[in-house]
Amino acid sequence: MPEHETDGREFSVDADWDALFIDGEWREVPDRDRMDVENPATRELFTQVPAGTAADVDDAYEAAVDAQEDWANTTPDERARVVRTAAQLLDDYEEEICELLAVESGGAPSRQAIEHGGAVTFVHDAASFAFRMSGRHNQSKIPGKENIVRREPKGVVGVISPWNVPLKLSIRAVAPAIATGNSVVLKPAGETPVTGGLVIAKLFEAAGLPDGVLNVVTGPGSTAGDRTAAHPDSDVIAFTGSTEVGRLVGQNAIDHFALPALELGGNNPHVVLEDADLDQAVDAGVFGSFWNQGQVCISINRHLVHESLYDEYAERLAERAAELPIGDPRDDDTVIGPIINESQRDEIIDYVERTVEEGATLETGGGHDGLFVEPTVLTGVTNDMAAACNEHFGPVAPIIPFSTDEEAVELANATEYGLAGSVHSADRGRARDVADQIEVGMMHVNDQTVNVEPHVPFGGKKDSGMGRYNGDWILQEFTEDSWTSIQREPRSYPF
Ligand code: NAD
């Protein structure tokens, strides 16, 4: 049972979100600037949160350091209980939390369901980590000595998260960190301070987490984010966001020997070989390009299609894209919600316009109304055009032709990123041969690129990041081995 009774109102859109969560207290900071949080669909003010400062981050780290040892010394049973309770509350208040995802981040119903459901599963899975921190007993080359290797929490985990799938991408780091006996300082994205941060604080508070184990500081990346990454008391910096910011964050972490766990950008290819089942390849292409308006690190960014299927694939993809319902994410029928803000929208439109200027053909889309960008399909695209060589992070499907499997591999790999990919072929062996040559951390045969499961490794190669999330992989990153030897008999030394 949760320690604090809740009827769910505290998770609602109308709740008060104007406070930081430090050392178990909701700290109102009237002297601080506020950050407006806008509903991207209506452009109305949803709420305001404190613009946390470097000093607030310092307070959060102080609380996290003070709380960590006692938390690490609780039984695995107790840590698992708290994390399981948080998962149960997340499940219980699905309706409230999904509405928040719609209002704060423009998540359409399919994203709300996948994000919320995925988050519940991740937190449940993380609860098991408390019992999975196994050490080992090693023999020794010294007579009478015993070697014991213990698996311990790293200490304090700083988490910095993005706005695109905010609840899931924050909680996938927070829950495993807590379950393994670490304490946490969480800095959510400025666009999504509630679903990426304050809601998570409320869930764990209601689940009975001791004061100081989780601290949430809302605020700008350049101040609160920078201090979170640079703070000397952090032992791991779990960052999800752009490669550009990730590079800075990683350097800051390394400066004080914190482990950087970096999940960064992508430019993910969807490869359709000449013997592919076209229906399946198009279905996968529609979902992989347009789910969450393409604002996903593992979205399909480029469709690489064999020249023999090219025209038909493009025609079908464009037809399907043009039919996708655009609207308020709170409407059940909506598939395409708004882009998060104007600068993201402008960048997407700019990529599309430049790609057309460079010689591509706009098959459908290209327009926008407020922050709603039409699903867009471009043909006659080459790998060096703007929408293909950049991570466009929008509902844009550039289609690039190829003539041999070797050329498909070459095109797929011609990017600095290496996050996710997919390959379609009726011959699974052939698809596997192509898939194995594409340099990505996550590859899917006869599917699309947007796949996440709690127990398999998530992460990228090349400039898409360092380390792996989920399951045993995040368990390793958030814990470390320490060696204790016990000399059971008097030892003879050479002098
Ligand atoms: P972003 O890099 O702009 O911001 C991410 C976070 O970093 C935010 O909380 C931001 O406030 C903070 N930040 C900004 N400047 C900072 C600084 N100087 N120091 C410390 N923190 C700072 O990314 P975004 O626009 O929020 O998200 C989109 C990007 O995230 C895309 O590139 C996308 O591919 C990537 N992403 C990657 C994954 C993954 O798992 N690989 C998942 C989702 C998103």
pLDDT in tens, 369-410: 999 999 999 999 999 999 999 999 999 999 999 999 999 999
418 touches ligand 1 (CB under 6 Å): no
CB burial readout 164-189, b (16+ within 10 A) else e: bbbbbbbbbbbbbbbbbbbbbbbbbb
pLDDT at 214 over 70: yes
161 touches ligand 1 (CB under 6 Å): yes
**Predicted local confidence at residue 8, as pLDDT:** 80
Per the CB < 8 A criterion, the answer to whether 233 and 248 are in contact is no
pLDDT category, 30, cuts 50, 70, 90? Answer: confident
How many Å lie between the centroid of ligand 1 and the Cα of residue 275?
Answer: 38
pLDDT at 2 over 70: no
| Residues 34, 51: Cα–Cα separation, whole Å | 5
**Residue 307 appears among annotated catalytic residues:** no
The average confidence (pLDDT) of the chain is 97
Beta strands in 371-436 (DSSP E): 372-373, 376-379, 396-402, 417-418, 420-424
**Residue 297 appears among annotated catalytic residues:** yes
Q: What is the mean pLDDT of residues 139-167?
A: 98
How many Å lie between the centroid of ligand 1 and the Cα of residue 87?
Answer: 25
285 touches ligand 1 (CB under 6 Å): no
Q: pLDDT tens-digit profile of 295-310?
A: 999 999 999 999 999 9
Q: In the CATH scheme, what architecture does the domain 9-264+464-482 have?
A: 3-Layer(aba) Sandwich (3.40)
Beta strands in 241-293 (DSSP E): 259-263, 268-272
Q: pLDDT tens-digit profile of 408-438?
A: 999 999 999 999 999 999 999 999 999 999 9
Contacts of 437-441 with C-beta under 8 Å, sequence gap 24+, read 437/409, 437/413, 438/269, 438/271, 438/409, 438/412, 438/413, 439/413, 440/268, 440/464, 441/465, 441/468
pLDDT at 1 over 70: no
240 touches ligand 1 (CB under 6 Å): yes
Q: Any idea which residue has 């604002």 for tokens?
A: 295
How many Å lie between the centroid of ligand 1 and the Cα of residue 78?
Answer: 33
- What DSSP state is assigned to residue 210? P
| Residues 383, 412: Cα–Cα separation, whole Å | 9
pLDDT at 37 over 90: yes
pLDDT at 185 over 90: yes
51 touches ligand 1 (CB under 6 Å): no
CA proximity to 399, closest of 323, 275, 307: 307
What are the distances in angstroms from CA 237 to CA 226, 477, 492?
A: 11, 10, 44
| Residues 139, 124: Cα–Cα separation, whole Å | 36
pLDDT at 144 over 90: yes
Q: pLDDT tens-digit profile of 223-278?
A: 999 999 999 999 999 999 999 999 999 999 999 999 999 999 999 999 999 999 99
Beta bridge partners of 25: 22
CA proximity to 300, closest of 286, 315, 279, 319: 286
Annotated catalytic residue within 99, 104, 205, 263: 263
Strands 214-216 and 183-187: parallel
Q: pLDDT tens-digit profile of 75-109?
A: 999 999 999 999 999 999 999 999 999 999 999 99
Of 4.10.640.10, 3.40.50.10490, 3.40.50.12280, 3.40.309.10, which CATH number belongs to 268-445? 3.40.309.10
Q: What is the mean pLDDT of residues 448-470?
A: 98
Per the CB < 8 A criterion, the answer to whether 442 and 470 are in contact is no
Residue type for 158, please? Answer: G
Q: What is the mean pLDDT of residues 1-29?
A: 86
Which of 223, 242, 299 to probe ligand 1 with, by most ligand atoms within 8 A of CB?
242
Q: What is the mean pLDDT of residues 313-340?
A: 98
pLDDT category, 32, cuts 50, 70, 90? Answer: confident
CB burial readout 56-69, b (16+ within 10 A) else e: bbebbbbbbbebbe
**Predicted local confidence at residue 5, as pLDDT:** 66
226 touches ligand 1 (CB under 6 Å): yes
pLDDT at 3 over 80: no
| Residues 251, 265: Cα–Cα separation, whole Å | 17
458: which 2 tokens? 């998530």
Which of 245, 341, 450 to probe ligand 1 with, by most ligand atoms within 8 A of CB?
245
Q: So where are the chain's domains?
A: 9-264+464-482, 268-445
Q: What is the mean pLDDT of residues 289-293?
A: 98
**Predicted local confidence at residue 262, as pLDDT:** 98
Q: What is the mean pLDDT of residues 189-205?
A: 98
